[in-house]
Amino acid sequence: MNDRTTLRLENVTMRFGGVVAMCGVDLRVEEGQIAALIGPNGAGKTTVFNVITGVCRPTEGSVYFEGRRIDGMKRFRIAKAGIARTFQNIRLFANMSALENVMVGTDAHHRTGAVGAALGLPWHRAEEKAGRQKAAELLEFVGIAGKSAETAKNLPYGDQRRLEIARALATEPKLLLLDEPAAGMNPAEKRSLQELIRRIRDSGRTVLLIEHDMGLVMDISDRVSVLDFGQKIAEGPPREVRANAKVIEAYLGATADAS
Amino acid sequence: MVWNDVVAQFGPSTIGGLAFGSIYALIALGYTMVYGVLRLINFAHSEIFMIGTFAALFVLNLVDLSAPLSGLALVGMLLLLIVVAMAVSGGAAVLLEQVAYRPLRRHGASRLAALISAIGASIFLQELFALIVIPDVFHRPQQGGRLPVPGPRLVNRDVLFSIGNANVRTDQLIVIVAALIMMVLLNQLVNRSRIGRGIRATAQDPEAAVLMGVSIDGIVRLTFLLGGAMAGVAGVLYLMEFEVTNYFVGFALGIKAFTSAVLGGIGNLRGALLGGILLGLIENWGAIFFGSQWKDVIAFIVLVVVLLFRPTGILGESLQKARA
C-alpha cells in the first residue's frame, strides 16, 4: 500500500441497533494534506471520527493508521499512536487553567511516577518544565499566549476552540481531527482559524476536518469527501466536488426524501 | 456548666480536635479522590485504613519495643511504619479495585452494583481479619479474633509546650505534623504533576482525557494507590495515638471520614482536609458543653445543618456546574 497514506478506512459499517450510521465507507487521507469530510446533518461525519479514535468499534470493516490496523485498539493507545481530535461541542477540562489543559496533552509522552512528583525530584522538575514550555509554545502557536493562566471555562468561545486545538496538538499527533472547528465563529475568526489550520498542516501534520462552512472547506482542503446517510457519495478536489450533481442534490435536498 | 470550665477546656479540646481531625482528613482524602474519578463511594476504604493499623502493628511486634522511643529513633521508627503501612494499604486498595470494581466497570455495571460490591468487600475484609489474620498472624484467637489487639507504647505522652492553657503533647504534635506533611505532598502531586493532571482531567471529562492519551485504568489504579497510602498513614497515626486496634476499627472512623469528605465537598481535596479538621474540632468543642458521649450526635447534627444550607458541602461546587 501507498506509504503516503496516513489514514485508511476500508469498507467501514457502523450500526447502532437498527440505525446504520456508516455504510461501507472507504476513506483515505494522504500524509501532509488537509482533508475535509462534509455532508448534511446526521450524515455520519462525527461517527467517522468516533470510529477513527476508537470511541466506537466498527461493526464491519477496518481502520488503518500509518499502515497499522487500529480498530479495536484501546482509545488511549490510539491517541498515543498519533491521532488527536477536538470536539463539536467543546470539551475542555473546564476547571483547569488553559496551560494545564494543554499540559494534559504533553503528559502523554512523559514518564515520571508518583514518588518523583511528590518529592519534587530533579527529573520530575525537568519534565514539568519541558511540558510547561511546550504548552506555552502551543498556546502561542494557536494565538492565545496571553491567556495561559485563565480557567478554561472563563475563556471566550473562540479562544476555547483554539485551546482545544492546542491541547490536541500537545499529544504530538500525526493526524489531527477537527470536528466543526469554525462553528459559531465570526468571519474574522474564521479567517484566522483557516490560517491556523494551514500552519498546522505546514508544520508537518495531516488534518482531517468536519465542517459546515463551505467557503472555508473549499478554500483550504486538498481533498473533500462527502457523506450522505452514512454513505460516501463523492470524493475529490474541492472544485470537482462542488460541481458534483449528487452533492448538490444532497445539500439542496432537491429530490432527496429524508422522511 | 461554669463559664470558667469552658474556657479552661477550650484549649485542650482544640488541640485534641486538631489531632482527631487530621486523622479524619487523611482518610477522607481516599473517599474524595475515588469519588472524584469514579463517582463511587468506596465503602471498603475504611478497611484499607484498618489494614494500615495492622501493618503498623505487625512491624512494631517484629521490632518488639521495650520502651517508648524519642528523638531520632522515634522519627526513624515512624518513617519505617509509615512507609510499610503506605505500601500495604496502598497495595490493598489497588487489589480491591482490581477485584471488586474493575470487572464491574468493564461490563458497564451500574453505580449501585459497584456500591454493593464495595459493601461486600468491606465485610469480606473485616471478616478476613477477624477469622484469619488476627488469630493466625497476631496470635489472638480468643472470641474469633474479635477482641481488640493492643499495641506497644511508641511515644511518651510528654507535654512539649503550651499555647495559653493548652498543653501540646508529643504524640498529638506528631499526628498533626505528619498529617500535614502528607497532605502537602499529596497536594503537590495533584496540582503540579502529570499524575495529578491526569487525575483531575479524568474527574472532569473522562472521554476527553482518554483521547488526550490518558489511560483511565491507570489513573483509577493510581487514585486507589494514593488514597490507600493516605489511609495507611492514618492507620499508623491512629495506632500510635490509641495503642490498640481491632477488625472493626475502620467502621466508626470510616463513617466520620466519609462525613468529613461530604462536609468539605466531596470530590474536592481541600474540602476533605477542611471537613476533617472541622469535624474533629466541632466534636471536641461540642463535648465541652454536652459531654463526650454526645460527640457523634453533635458531628452529625452539624453535617445535616451544613448540608441544608450548602448541599454540595463547604467547598463543593455543584456537579452540573463543575461539568459545564
Query: pLDDT for B294-318, tens place per residue?
Result: 988 988 888 888 888 888 888 876 5
Cβ neighbours of residue A254 closer than 8 Å, sequence gap 6 or more: A248
Nearest residue in B to A167, CA atom: B212
Distance from CA of A27 to the nearest CA of B (A): 21
Cβ-based interface (< 8 Å): residues of A facing B: 53, 55, 74-76, 79-80, 84-85, 87, 91-96, 100, 103-105, 107-110, 112-114, 117-120, 124, 127-128, 131, 153, 167-168, 170-171
- As a whole number of angstroms, the distance between CA B282 and CA B301 comes to 10
Residue A23, CA distances (Å) to A18, A152, A177, A224 in order:
12, 38, 21, 18
Secondary structure element (H or E) that encloses residue A11, with its range: strand A5-16
Beta strands in A77-132 (DSSP E): 83-85
The C-alpha angle B158, B161, B166, rounded to 5 degrees, equals 95
- Quote the pLDDT of residue A253: 66
Nearest CB to B226; choose among A84, A104, A114: A114
Nearest to A95 among B204, B208, B225 (CB): B204
C-alpha cell of residue A223: 481533498
Q: B285 to chain A, minimum CA–CA distance in Å?
A: 34
pTM of the model: 0.88
Q: What is the CATH number of the domain that holds B92?
A: 1.10.3470
Q: In whole angstroms, give the CA distance from residue B118 to residue B124.
A: 10
* Neighboring chain B residues of A135 at a CB cutoff of 8 Å: none
Nearest CA-CA partner of B214 in A109, A153, A229, A148: A109
Residue B176, CB half-sphere, CA atoms under 13 Å: how many? 15
Backbone conformation region of residue A101, classed left if phi is above 0, alpha if psi is from -120 to 50, else beta: alpha
Name every residue in B having a CB less than 8 A away from some CB of A: 185-186, 188-189, 192-198, 200-201, 204-205, 207-216, 222, 225-226, 322-324
pLDDT at B166: 83
Q: Which residues of A touch B267 (CB under 8 A)?
A: none
Among B211, B224, B233, most A C-beta atoms within 10 A, so best to mutate, is B211
Confidence of residue B65 (pLDDT cuts 50, 70, 90): confident
Q: Coil, strand or helix: which one is B165?
A: coil
Q: Check whether B7 has a pLDDT greater than 90.
A: no
Per-residue pLDDT of chain A (259 residues; tens, 9 = 90+): 556 799 999 999 999 888 888 999 999 999 999 999 998 888 889 999 999 999 989 999 999 999 999 998 998 899 989 999 999 889 999 999 999 999 998 887 777 666 777 677 778 888 889 999 999 999 999 999 999 999 999 999 989 999 999 999 999 999 999 999 998 889 999 999 999 999 999 999 999 999 988 889 999 999 999 999 889 998 999 999 888 888 888 876 655 444 3
Decide if B271 contacts B262 (C-beta within 8 A). no
Nearest to A114 among B189, B201, B215 (CB): B189
Q: Which residue has the cell 463551505?
A: A214
Distances (CA, A) of A169 to A11, A135, A142, B300: 29, 9, 10, 49
- What is the C-alpha to C-alpha distance for residues A48 and A31, in angstroms, rounded to an integer? 18
Percent of chain B having pLDDT more than 90? 67
Q: Which residue in chain A is spatially nearest to B204 when comparing CA positions?
A: A93
Instruction: Pick B80 or A253 by higher pLDDT.
Output: B80
Contact B210 A120 (CB under 8 A): no
ipTM of the complex: 0.82
Tell me which chain A residues have a C-beta less than 8 angstroms from the C-beta of B106. none
SS3 at position A168 = helix
Helices (H) and strands (E) in chain B, counts: 13, 4
Query: How far apart, in whole angstroms, are the C-alpha atoms of residue A40 and residue A44?
Result: 9
Of A53, A107, A124, the CB nearest to B211: A53
Look up residue A199 and give its three cell numbers.
Answer: 500552519
Provide the number of structural domains found in chain B: 1
Q: How far is CA B28 from the centre of its chain?
A: 5
Q: Do A108 and B322 touch (CB under 8 A)?
A: no
Residue A84: half-sphere exposure toward Cβ, Cα within 13 Å? 26
How do residues B19-53 score in pLDDT, each as one tens digit?
Answer: 999 999 999 999 999 999 999 999 999 999 999 99
Q: Distance (Å, rounded) from C-alpha B307 to C-alpha B264?
A: 10
How many CB atoms lie under 10 A from the CB of residue A60?
13
**Is domain A1-82+173-259 in CATH 3.50.50.60, yes or no?**
no
A54 Cα to chain B: minimum distance (Å): 9
Q: State how beta strands A83-85 and A68-69 pair.
A: unpaired
Residue length of chain B: 324
List the single residue in A with minimal CA-CA distance to B214: A76
Contact B189 A118 (CB under 8 A): yes
Q: How far apart are CA B95 and CA B93, in angstroms?
A: 5
Closest CA to A108 of B221, B218, B185, B97: B218
The pLDDT-based confidence of B64 (bands split at 50, 70, 90) is: confident
Mapped onto helix, strand or coil, the DSSP state of residue B90 is helix
Kindly report the nearest CA distance between residue A104 and chain B, in angstroms.
6
* Closest listed residue to residue B24, CA positions, set B175, B170, B150: B175
CB pairs under 8 A between A and B: 101
Name the residue type at position B146. R
A171 and B212 within 8 Å at the Cβ level: the answer is yes
DSSP B292-312: GGGHHHHHHHHHHHHHHH-TT
Residues of chain B found within 8 Å of residue A79, distances taken between Cβ atoms: 210-213
Cell output for A206: 495531516
Judging by DSSP bridges, how do beta strands A206-210 and B149-150 pair with one another?
A: unpaired
- Torsion sign (Cα): B208, B211, A182, A234: negative
Going by the DSSP 8-state scheme, the letter that residue B15 receives in this structure is: H
CB–CB of B214 and A75 under 8 A? Answer: no
B47 by Cβ neighbours in 10 Å (0-12 / 13-18 / 19+) ranks as buried
Condensed to tens digits (0 to 9), the pLDDT of residues B115-162 reads: 999 999 999 999 999 999 999 999 998 888 899 999 999 999 888 888
Spatial CA neighbour of B48 closest among B178, B182, B234, B186: B234
* Domain housing B319: 3-323
